[in-house]
């Protein structure tokens, strides 16, 4: 990455070249998004004539309205609206819990200087490399045994547990760089491990909390597989309903509605990135230097 200071020192040709490259890259990644955006406001007539890449003859928000409130997901024709609320109900607690447990885990592992701690960390890391699909069947059996399969509790539990290796790793690497004397000073003051974590350590972890929260938020919000399997019919997240709309076999396919629905599902993550982008970059950099 190049900071403005570096850009000023570069010869003019290089600056022009750099911006040209950046703009082309941005266009490359934005192109599919633009196609979806354009088609989501096209009337069906334009689409039937096969002009996916042209601008709409007239702009209509009807596909958005249909996608939001009247598109059919299977037998139910109330659009993607109920899924939004389900997704929020799943994502918010799952993010909060997985960030807090990850931070606590990471802090404990960073504090505990022993060979066992290193081995434990290694085992936790293995969790990162095993694909979800391989763990699905055992997880289904375990959750059935616990009586929370296809329930609201179940889906949150699964998201928290599947997220733990990642959140633990990120927090541990951050906390290894925090001077040990701060924790020891808190211990001298009589604070317990949990009190130290809550009053002293967590308040200085803002950057890494934001990074982990964003990663978890996007991961859980965009999740389809776990939501489909573990959430149960009453709690299906937006992504599952989106797929149902797109795959609905009744009536003619309506690409403009599908694209509007896809955009609706993506809006929350976009908002999160725009709002917290500054923290995100800062947190990533901190983690990189200190990890």
Partner 1 sequence: MYNISLNKIRKTYGDLTILHSVEMEITEGEFVVILGSSGCGKSTLLNIVAGLDTCDSGQILIGDKDVTDLEPSDRDLSMVFQSYALFPSMTVRRNLSFGMEVARVPKAEREAKVAKVAQLLQIDALLDRKPSQLSGGQRQRVAIGRALVRSTGVCLFDEPLSNLDAKLRTETRVELKKLHNDLGFTMLYVTHDQVEAMTMADRVAVMNKGRVEQFAPPQEIYEKPANLFVASFVGSPEINQIAGHLSGNGSLDIGKTHIDLSGYAFENGTRPAQDAILAVRCEDIKIVPPAAGHITAQLDFVELLGADALAWVLYHGKRLSVRMGVDQARALESEVGLQFDLTKASVFCTKDGHRL
Residues that bind partner 1 (CB under 8 A): 179, 181-182, 184-191, 195, 199-200, 203-204
* Cβ-based nearer residue to partner 1, 80 or 99: 99
Exposure string over 9-25, b if 16+ CB within 10 A, otherwise e: eeeeeeeeeeeeeeeee
For partner 1, the closer CB: 32 or 179: 179
Task: Work out whether the CA dihedral 202, 207, 213, 219 comes out positive or negative.
Answer: negative
Least Cβ distance, residue 108 to partner 1 (angstroms):
17
How far separated are the first and last CA of the chain, in Å rounded? 19
Rounded distance, CA 265 to CA 259, Å?
10
Please say which residue, 180 or 234, places its beta carbon nearer to partner 1.
180
The minimum distance between CB 98 and partner 1, in angstroms, equals 23
Nearer to partner 1, 130 or 182 (CB): 182
Q: Are 149 and 231 in contact (CB under 8 A)?
A: no
Query: Residue 94 in contact with residue 160, Cβ under 8 Å?
Result: yes
Smallest distance from partner 1 to CB 213, Å: 18
Query: Smallest distance from the beta carbon of 150 to partner 1, in angstroms?
Result: 42
Q: What is the spatial distance between Cα 279 and Cα 291, in angstroms, rounded to a whole number?
A: 17
Nearest-angstrom CA–CA distance, 123 and 118: 9
Q: Which is nearer to partner 1, 77 or 178 (CB)?
A: 178
* Residues 257/245, Cβ–Cβ less than 8 Å: yes
Q: Nearest approach, Cβ of 205 to partner 1 (angstroms)?
A: 9
Q: Least distance from C-beta 280 to partner 1, angstroms?
A: 21
* CA 138 from centre of chain: 24
Break the chain down into helix, strand, coil percent, rounded to 5.
Answer: 80, 0, 20
Q: Which is nearer to partner 1, 147 or 179 (CB)?
A: 179
């Amino acid at each position: 990455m190049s900071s403005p200071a570096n850009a000023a020192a570069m010869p003019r040709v290089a600056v022009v070249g750099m911006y040209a490259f950046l703009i082309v890259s941005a266009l490359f990644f934005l192109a599919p998004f633009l196609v979806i955006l354009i088609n989501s406001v096209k009337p069906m007539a334009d689409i039937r004539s096969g002009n996916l890449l042209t601008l709409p003859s007239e702009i209509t928000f009807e596909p958005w309205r249909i996608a939001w409130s009247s598109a059919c997901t299977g037998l139910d024709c109330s659009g993607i609206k109920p899924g939004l609320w389900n997704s929020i109900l799943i994502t918010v607690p799952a993010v909060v819990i997985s960030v807090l447990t990850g931070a606590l885990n990471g802090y404990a592992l960073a504090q505990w200087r022993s060979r066992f701690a290193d081995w434990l960390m290694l085992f936790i890391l293995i969790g990162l490399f095993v694909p979800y699909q391989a763990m699905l069947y055992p997880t289904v059996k375990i959750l059935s045994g616990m009586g929370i399969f296809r329930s609201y509790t179940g889906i949150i539990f699964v998201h928290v547990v599947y997220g733990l290796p990642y959140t633990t790793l990120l927090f541990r690497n951050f906390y290894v760089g925090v001077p040990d004397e701060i924790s020891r000073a808190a211990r001298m003051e009589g604070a317990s491990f949990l009190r130290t974590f809550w009053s002293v350590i967590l308040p200085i972890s803002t950057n890494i909390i934001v990074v982990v929260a964003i990663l978890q938020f996007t991961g859980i919000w965009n999740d389809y597989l776990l939501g489909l399997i573990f959430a149960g019919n009453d709690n299906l997240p937006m992504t599952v309903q989106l797929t149902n709309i797109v795959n609905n076999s009744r009536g003619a396919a309506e690409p403009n509605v599908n694209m509007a629905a896809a955009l609706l599902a993506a809006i929350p993550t976009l908002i999160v990135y725009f709002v917290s982008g500054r923290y995100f970059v800062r947190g990533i950099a901190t983690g990189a230097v200190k990890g």
